């Protein structure tokens, strides 16, 4: 079987399950399993189908079975699990060579149980801890332990569906103090990777249980982060699983659950801002700094030869500060600083170029808790620099993968460059941490919530920067919107939360998500004029002008004298081509501000489009009179006078138009005027210029659309193709 055949066949099974056609699903799945000869799957399918036959028999005998539906649901979910297992085995045998499947092939040959893999790591970890206690830095033992931990991660990741025995083992690992913190963290990350590979309600139940029972709140928050990501990813499946719904509902009774979920939701929302921050850095800040570099060096010319050129030092000199202000760089840096202090991930772009070390070729290392004892940081330890270790190990905002990036890169730097970097990072981290101590930000109010923030950033970096990221489904590719999550939506769906998160989306331009939250407020009967305005603005920004107009009109009922609202309604009518209604609202807006020339111009455009040319031209003359330096009214005046038959006035204005960077449309309109006044040769000259400035197709389309204007010059509609051919011949001869 090839990859496409495998995909079609397994998707056929899933479709049958969705349609509740279990007999056909059993038959097709058995047929597929025969191709890989997995006797364990075959035996499991035989037992499940036998159970299903008994269920059917009892039902037809009229026997009452209150557990029938739950048994049916369990059979369906287990069949879905079998489908995933068979699909992976088929792919490994016949099709893909992805990182995941290569890993699966390797581990399948080793035949080690999950418990054996974990025990092997545990023994090596105890040896490494003992060596550290007696002051021995044994890189060999440490490296063996690290390889064993990678094996544990991979084994859990490859485990599509936990057996009862493995589920019990995982619960033991994650809840017992016998096992190390790094093992627990890696087990949770591996569960995430496994869950994202395919749905397993048992793993979700395990993660929720870890959050509920584990005393170490850092471990608990990691489990909750993964649970929330997967609850959203599989929200439809979760909604149909009564056991999961009951478990989530029980957690809502915990006083801290809502606060923890809210914190994680905000951090996940902030990941969307990372792309915006990166874009601003790449497209605005860095290019501006590069442009300023020659001027900066020129200003520093004459200073001491060995003096450092630092942008921060430039602010000490008013002349240099003026340079930053004029370039606009100061405002951009200030905006980035504000994003940073609001919890924005401003370090993504800095560390994205430091993920090329071989260390990051292993999936598990992207989620590994940072430790200076790691075997690949032996060069860093050899520097014996307390300040450096303080920066990396301190309670900074750097996530673990960034700390590894920093440590691996710093160890390779020349001493001078290393010292300068340490000073810069030290000052920056001190400023940020000082701000956070005085801040009441949602995601940074407690240590375990800070740990969740860092973990989310590690997850984000893996799915955005891993060299084989295209092989994975990125759960953060689409925004995680809690309003679609079972139980969570009800828990967080208070007016205050909806407003708070809605405002976050709104101020950052995520209008689709913002409108969904604001509309939830409206559906509860809690909306006010401001909420209605913002829903309208969201739809306007999404170019859904009909819906924007509906909400603007609702807001207008509450405040008919709001000038901002009047202009928005006018704009929506204009964008919908409702020229007369738009003109009414532009006139209404001008009653409050009759000197606003933009409003006057827009009114003129709407009047022109609705055929009120005499009124339109008065608007354009008003703009010309009040704004003598501007030429924006010249074109519309020229056209209006042409439409009114005032050809002398029109020609006077078209002369001005053709002297000021004329467009193809300008030449065409001037050609119409020449034709209407009987000057056909001049008309042909203007049409030829128009043709040169546009494509042949665009020119012909425009000329055909303007047939009524050609008729003014005696060119009938049937003669237009002849005129076009004449122009094409003339153009060919040039």
Q: Domain for residue 613, yes or no?
A: no
- Quick: pLDDT tens for 225-267: 999 999 999 999 999 898 999 999 999 999 899 999 999 998 8
| 145 in the same domain as 88 | no
pLDDT at 581: 96
Look at residue 694 and give its three-state secondary structure.
Answer: coil
Q: Domain for residue 587, yes or no?
A: no
Lowest mean pLDDT of 338-352, 430-444, 505-519, 686-700, name the range. 430-444
Distant-in-sequence, close-in-space partners of 175: CB < 8 Å, separation ≥ 6: 210, 213, 214
CA atoms within 13 A on the CB side of 570: 24
Cβ-in-10-Å burial (0-12, 13-18, 19+) of 19 comes to exposed
Total domains, the chain:
4
Cβ–Cβ < 8 Å for 360, 366: yes
- Quick: pLDDT tens for 154-179: 999 999 988 899 999 999 999 999 99
Highest mean pLDDT among 427-431, 456-460, 476-480, 507-511: 456-460
| 169 in the same domain as 153 | yes
| 224 in the same domain as 109 | yes
pLDDT at 504: 85
Reference 149, options 106, 179, 104; nearest CA is 179
How far apart are alpha carbons 417 and 404 in whole angstroms? 18
Band of pLDDT at residue 411, cut at 50, 70 and 90 = confident
% of the chain exceeding 70 in pLDDT: 86
| pLDDT above 70: residue 325 | no
CA atoms within 13 A on the CB side of 203: 29
| 107 in the same domain as 65 | no
Band of pLDDT at residue 84, cut at 50, 70 and 90 = very high
Q: Domain for residue 144, yes or no?
A: yes
| 201 in the same domain as 129 | yes
| 108 in the same domain as 83 | no
Q: What average pLDDT score do residues 693-715 get?
A: 88
Q: Domain for residue 189, yes or no?
A: yes
| 147 in the same domain as 60 | no
| pLDDT above 60: residue 9 | yes
Cβ–Cβ < 8 Å for 154, 208: no
- Quick: pLDDT tens for 467-490: 999 999 999 988 788 888 999 988
| pLDDT above 60: residue 428 | no
Lowest mean pLDDT of 20-34, 126-140, 627-641, name the range. 126-140
| pLDDT above 60: residue 368 | yes
Name which residue leads in pLDDT, 443 or 580.
580
Quick one: angle between helices 68-94 and 99-110, nearest 10? 100
Band of pLDDT at residue 297, cut at 50, 70 and 90 = low
Q: What average pLDDT score do residues 292-312 get?
A: 51
Cβ-in-10-Å burial (0-12, 13-18, 19+) of 567 comes to buried
Tell me 562's DSSP state: -
pLDDT at 99: 93
| 52 in the same domain as 157 | no
Band of pLDDT at residue 119, cut at 50, 70 and 90 = very high
| pLDDT above 80: residue 542 | yes
| 65 in the same domain as 131 | no
Q: What's the full length of the chain, in residues?
A: 734
**Which residue among 532, 559, 586 closes a domain?**
559
How far apart are alpha carbons 25 and 67 in whole angstroms? 22
How far apart are alpha carbons 295 and 696 in whole angstroms? 47
Q: Domain for residue 546, yes or no?
A: yes
| pLDDT above 80: residue 292 | no
How far apart are alpha carbons 366 and 430 in whole angstroms? 26
Band of pLDDT at residue 639, cut at 50, 70 and 90 = very high
pLDDT at 307: 45
Q: Domain for residue 74, yes or no?
A: yes
Provide the b/e sequence for 347-372 (b: ≥16 CB within 10 Å). bbbebeebbeeebbeebbbbbbbbbe
**Which residue among 524, 559, 594 closes a domain?**
559
% of the chain exceeding 90 in pLDDT: 56
| 107 in the same domain as 225 | yes
Q: Domain for residue 545, yes or no?
A: yes
Band of pLDDT at residue 635, cut at 50, 70 and 90 = very high
pLDDT at 286: 61
Phi-psi region of 645 (alpha: psi -120 to 50; beta: other; left: phi over 0): left
| 215 in the same domain as 151 | yes
How far apart are alpha carbons 149 and 190 in whole angstroms? 11
| pLDDT above 70: residue 339 | no
Q: What average pLDDT score do residues 445-450 get?
A: 69
Which ranges in 347-385 belong to alpha helices (H)? 348-352, 378-383
| 186 in the same domain as 87 | no
pLDDT at 439: 46
How far apart are alpha carbons 459 and 367 in whole angstroms? 7
- Quick: pLDDT tens for 653-701: 999 999 988 999 999 999 999 989 999 999 999 999 999 998 899 999 9
Q: State which residues form the domain around 730.
A: 662-734
| pLDDT above 50: residue 443 | no
Lowest mean pLDDT of 148-152, 165-169, 445-449, 722-726, name the range. 445-449
What is the SS3 string spanning 641-671? HHHCCCHHHHHHHHHHHHCCCCCHHHHHHHH
Look at residue 38 and give its three-state secondary structure.
Answer: coil
**Which residue among 172, 206, 229 closes a domain?**
229
Q: Domain for residue 299, yes or no?
A: no
Cβ–Cβ < 8 Å for 626, 595: yes
Q: What average pLDDT score do residues 315-322 get?
A: 53
């Amino acid at each position: 079987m090839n990859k496409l055949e495998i995909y079609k066949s397994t998707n056929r099974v899933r479709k049958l399950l969705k349609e509740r056609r279990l007999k056909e699903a059993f038959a097709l799945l058995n047929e597929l399993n025969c191709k890989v000869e997995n006797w364990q799957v075959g035996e499991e399918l035989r037992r499940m189908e036998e159970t299903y036959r008994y269920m059917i028999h009892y039902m037809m005998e009229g026997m009452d079975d209150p557990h029938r539906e739950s048994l049916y649901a369990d059979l369906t979910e287990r069949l879905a699990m079998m489908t995933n297992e068979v699909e992976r085995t088929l792919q490994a045998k016949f099709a893909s060579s992805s990182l995941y499947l290569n890993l699966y092939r390797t581990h399948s040959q080793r035949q080690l149980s999950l418990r054996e893999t974990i025990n092997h790591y545990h023994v090596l970890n105890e040896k490494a801890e003992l060596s550290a206690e007696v002051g021995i830095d044994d890189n060999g033992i440490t490296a063996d332990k690290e390889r064993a931990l990678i094996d544990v991660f991979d084994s859990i990741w490859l485990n599509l569906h936990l057996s009862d025995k493995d589920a019990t083992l995982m619960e033991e690992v994650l809840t017992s103090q016998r096992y190390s913190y790094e093992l627990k963290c890696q087990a949770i990350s591996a569960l995430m990777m496994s869950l994202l590979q395919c749905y397993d309600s048992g793993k979700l139940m395990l993660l929720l249980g870890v959050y509920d029972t584990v005393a170490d709140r850092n471990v608990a928050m990691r489990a909750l982060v993964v649970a929330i990501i997967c609850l959203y990813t599989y929200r439809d499946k979760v909604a149909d699983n009564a056991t999961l719904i009951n478990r989530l509902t029980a957690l809502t009774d915990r006083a801290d659950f809502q606060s923890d979920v809210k914190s994680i939701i905000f951090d996940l929302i902030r990941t969307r801002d990372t792309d915006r921050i990166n874009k601003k850095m790449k497209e605005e800040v860095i290019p501006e700094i590069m442009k300023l570099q020659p001027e900066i060096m020129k200003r520093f010319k004459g200073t001491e030869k060995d003096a450092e050129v630092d942008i921060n030092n430039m602010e000490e000199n008013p002349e240099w500060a003026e340079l930053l202000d004029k370039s606009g760089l100061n405002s951009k840096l200030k905006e980035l600083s504000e994003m940073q202090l609001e919890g924005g991930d401003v370090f993504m772009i800095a560390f994205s170029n430091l993920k090329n070390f071989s260390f990051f070729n292993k999936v598990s290392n992207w989620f590994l808790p940072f430790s200076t004892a790691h075997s690949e940081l032996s060069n860093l330890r050899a520097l014996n620099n307390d300040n450096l270790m303080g920066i990396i190990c301190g309670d900074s905002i750097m996530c673990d993968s960034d700390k590894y990036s920093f440590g691996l890169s710093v160890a390779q730097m020349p001493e001078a460059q290393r010292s300068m970097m340490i000073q810069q990072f030290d000052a920056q981290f001190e400023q940020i941490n000082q701000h956070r101590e005085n801040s009441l930000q949602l995601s940074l109010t407690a240590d375990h919530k800070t740990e969740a923030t860092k973990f989310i950033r590690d997850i984000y970096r893996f799915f955005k920067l891993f060299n084989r990221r295209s092989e994975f489904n990125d759960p953060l590719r689409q925004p995680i919107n809690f309003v679609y999550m079972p139980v969570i939506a009800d828990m967080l769906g208070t007016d205050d939360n909806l407003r708070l998160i809605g405002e976050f989306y709104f101020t950052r331009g995520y209008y689709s998500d913002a409108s969904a939250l604001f509309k939830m407020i409206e559906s509860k009967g809690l909306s006010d004029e401001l909420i209605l305005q913002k829903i309208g603005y969201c739809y306007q920004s999404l170019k859904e002008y009909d819906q924007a107009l509906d909400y603007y009109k609702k807001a207008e009922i509450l405040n008919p004298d709001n000038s901002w609202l009047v202009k928005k309604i006018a704009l929506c009518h204009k964008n919908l081509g409702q020229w007369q209604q738009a003109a009414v609202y532009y006139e209404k807006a001008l009653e409050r501000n009759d000197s606003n020339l933009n409003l006057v111009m827009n009114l003129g455009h709407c009047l022109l489009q609705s055929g009120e040319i005499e009124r339109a031209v008065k608007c354009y003359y008003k703009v010309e009179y009040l704004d003598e330096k501007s030429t924006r009214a010249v074109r519309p005046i020229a056209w209006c006078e042409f439409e009114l038959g005032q050809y002398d006035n029109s020609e006077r204005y078209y002369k001005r138009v053709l002297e000021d960077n004329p467009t193809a449309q300008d030449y065409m309109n001037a050609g119409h005027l020449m034709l209407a006044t009987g000057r056909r040769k001049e008309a042909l000259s203007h049409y030829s210029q128009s043709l040169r400035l546009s494509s042949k197709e665009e020119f012909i389309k425009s000329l055909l659309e303007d047939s009524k204007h050609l008729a003014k010059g005696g060119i009938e509609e049937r003669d237009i193709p002849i005129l076009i051919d004449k122009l094409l011949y003339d153009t060919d001869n040039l």
